[in-house]
Each structure stands twice: as structure tokens, then as C-alpha cells.
Amino acid sequence: MLTIGFIGAGQMAQAMVKGWQKREEIHQVVYAPTAEKQVASELGIQVVDTPAKVWEQADMVVLAMKPQDLQTVADELRLVRMQKPEVIIVSVLAGGTLKELHQVLGERLVIARAVSNINVALRYGYTGLAFDQYVDASTRGAIAMLFLELGKTDEYPEQKLSVVSALAGSGPAFVAAFVKSYQAVGQQLGLTEDQAQVIALQTLTGTGINMTETPLSATQLANLAIAAGVSTNAGYSYLTQGQLEEVLSGAVSATMDKNEQGDIS
Ligand SMILES: NC(=O)C1=CN([C@@H]2O[C@H](COP(=O)(O)OP(=O)(O)OC[C@H]3O[C@@H](n4cnc5c(N)ncnc54)[C@H](O)[C@@H]3O)[C@@H](O)[C@H]2O)C=CC1
Ligand SMILES: O=C(O)[C@@H]1CCC=N1
């Protein structure tokens, strides 16, 4: 039995708990501050009332609070960090470098970063992992295997994680914004809300599965859809020659800037 402990019971922790809950050999325990005790209990896992109690039980502790709460959490863990230094720490915080995490939590501890997204709840997540020299190959492999349970995962040099966080961590919100626009346009053109929603979601899901299950690149798939007629190309050209990439680039830059401002340093 592997025990995974969570510090914080917000959106990201809940999504990970749900994803790993399908594995019987994983026991999960969470520290939920008062306001989230009820939510955490409803997840059906063990809830404890201090971060130290999570640490005492866990083989791996997931830091899932906001970066600004790191120092408070580190203080609450002061004693247990010394008593049980073999615990593996995985930070899902968007900010906070491995160097900074070591400075706050302890130089000799094993710490990894995992930049993930809420789709891990359905095991369709994407997680970018980063390690430093203190994490040996077998521990890296074990952590990667755990995140593989929650979707796809890759290892990155740490400096790439800010891009991964903006594209994958924040990505579900960006894709949802695209679906929302798709729906809105359908409604403006006379479809009902339901019709517009089904078309938007089925087209998004179908296209995603098509590109996942075939070797087609995005351009090749677009060309297939375009090849059958003349009208699709008019809209596709409008999108690709228009501002779509610029808008997305602006969204990603704004996200990366905000993450840097909220860093723990
Ligand atoms: N929500 C998302 O899609 C993603 C979030 N993240 C990262 O995950 C972390 C958590 O984000 P969310 O779950 O969205 O935030 P959230 O606000 O939903 O949850 C934060 C949790 O931390 C708890 N908390 C507050 N003060 C605490 C303290 N002193 N000690 C322990 N816990 C404390 C809160 O009560 C709450 O349970 C953030 O650092 C964020 O950067 C990363 C990728 C995606
Ligand atoms: O919004 C946030 O701060 C976090 C970081 C990545 C996704 N969500």
C-alpha cells in the first residue's frame, strides 16, 4: 500500500484524489483547512486536521496549497520533516522553483515538481515533471508512473515548467473558452443553447479523439476536413490568417506573467 498525502484540499488536490482513487493499492489522506473539511470528507478519503498528520502517514506528500502558504506549511512541518526525512515531496504549485522549495523545506529532502491540470480527475490530465540532482532514477520513475495513472506525463528541464503550466495547467480554461465562443456563435445564428453545446462538445471531443487515435497532425486533419468542399477553407483561412494564434499567445503570456508575479521568492 502506498500512502499519498495532500496538503490543501482545493481544486487541484480534489482532482488528483479522484484520479488516484481508482487504484486500490493507493491510500490517500488529506489535510483540509476548516472551510474544506466537508468537501474533503465527501471525497471519501481520510481527512486529518494538521499538515504534520499527513506527513506522519505518507510516503509521498503533495503540496497543493497556494504558493503564498508555503512558508506556513513548512513551519507546521518543521518537526516531522526532521523525524521522517524520507518522505517524497511533490509540489504542484505553479510557482516556486526546486531551489526555493529546498530553501524553505530542507536541503536534504527529495522534492519533485509536477505541473498538472484538473483533467487528472478523469485520468485525462497532462503533467510536466521536473527533478533535481537529489532525486534518483528509481524515484523519478516511480513518480512518473504515478502521474501516468492520471493521464500523460513528460519530464522537463525545470525552466520549461512555466510554459507547461500556462499551456497545460491553465489549458482546460482556455479550451473551455474556445468551446464557449463556439456555443455563443451557434446561438447567435439561431441554434438553441442545447444544440450549440452538443455541436461544440461533440466536435471538440471527436476531433481530439481523431487526432489522438490516428497519426494525423492538426494540419493534416484540417486538410481532410477542407478537402471535401470549398466552404470550410473560407472559414479555416479566416481563423488561421486572422488573430487566433496571436490571441492564444497573448493569453499564455498573460498567464506566465501572472505566475511570475505570484512566485514564492
Ligand atoms: N486549479 C488548477 O487547475 C491548477 C492548480 N495548480 C496549483 O495548485 C495549487 C492549488 O491550486 P488550487 O487547487 O486551484 O487552489 P485552491 O484555492 O482551490 O486550493 C488551495 C488549498 O490550500 C488550502 N490552504 C490554504 N491555506 C493553507 C495552509 N496554510 N496550509 C495548508 N493548506 C492551506 C486551501 O484551504 C485550499 O484547500 C496552486 O499552487 C496552483 O498553482 C496547478 C495546476 C492547475
Ligand atoms: O491559475 C493558477 O494559478 C494555476 C496555475 C496553473 C493552473 N492554475
66 is in an annotated binding site: yes
Residue 238 belongs to domain with CATH number: 1.10.3730.10
Confidence band (pLDDT; 50, 70, 90) for 35? confident
Q: Is 190 annotated among the ligand-binding residues?
A: no
Query: How many Å lie between the centroid of ligand 2 and the Cα of residue 94?
Result: 6
Mean pLDDT throughout 167-181?
A: 97
Residue bearing the CA closest to ligand 1, atom 18 = 10
* For range 211-230, the mean pLDDT: 90
- The reply to whether 35 and 120 lie within a common domain is yes
142 φψ region: left (φ > 0), alpha (ψ -120 to 50), beta (else): alpha
Domain final residue, candidates 140, 165, 190: 165
DSSP structure class, residue 121: G
User: Domain boundary residue among 122, 144, 165?
Assistant: 165
pLDDT at 265 over 60: no
Residue-range definition of the domain harbouring residue 178: 171-261
Look up the ipTM and state it: 0.96
Give the residue, out of 6, 7, 11, 116, with the most ligand 1 atoms within 8 A of its beta carbon, to mutate for a pocket test.
11
Same domain, 34 and 98: yes
Instruction: Give residue 263's pLDDT band: very low, low, confident or very high (50, 70, 90).
Output: low
**Residue 262 pLDDT class (50, 70, 90 cuts):** low
Average pLDDT over residues 139-157: 98
What CATH number corresponds to the domain at position 78? 3.40.50.720
Binning pLDDT at 50, 70 and 90, where does residue 25 land?
very high
70-93 pLDDT, tens per residue?
Answer: 999 999 999 999 999 999 999 999
How far is the C-alpha of 170 from the C-alpha of 148, rounded, in Å? 19
pLDDT at 228 exceeding the cut of 70: no
Report the 10 Å Cβ neighbour count for 20.
23
Determine contact, residues 96/64, Cβ cutoff 8 Å. no
- The domain boundary residue, chosen from 106, 135, 165: 165
Q: State the chain's mean pLDDT as an integer.
A: 94
5: Cα separation from own chain's centroid: 17
**Domain total for the chain?**
2
Q: For position 39, what pLDDT does the model report?
A: 84
Q: Are residues 144 and 188 in the same domain?
A: no
DSSP string of 195-233? HHHHHHHHHHHHHHHHHHHSS--HHHHHHHHHHT-SHHH
Let me know whether 10 and 129 are in one domain. Answer: yes
Q: In the prediction, which pLDDT does 264 show?
A: 58
Ligand 2 nearest atom to the CA of residue 94, by list position: 5
135 and 190 assigned to the same domain: no
pLDDT at residue 22 greater than cutoff 90: no
Q: What is the mean pLDDT of residues 157-178?
A: 97
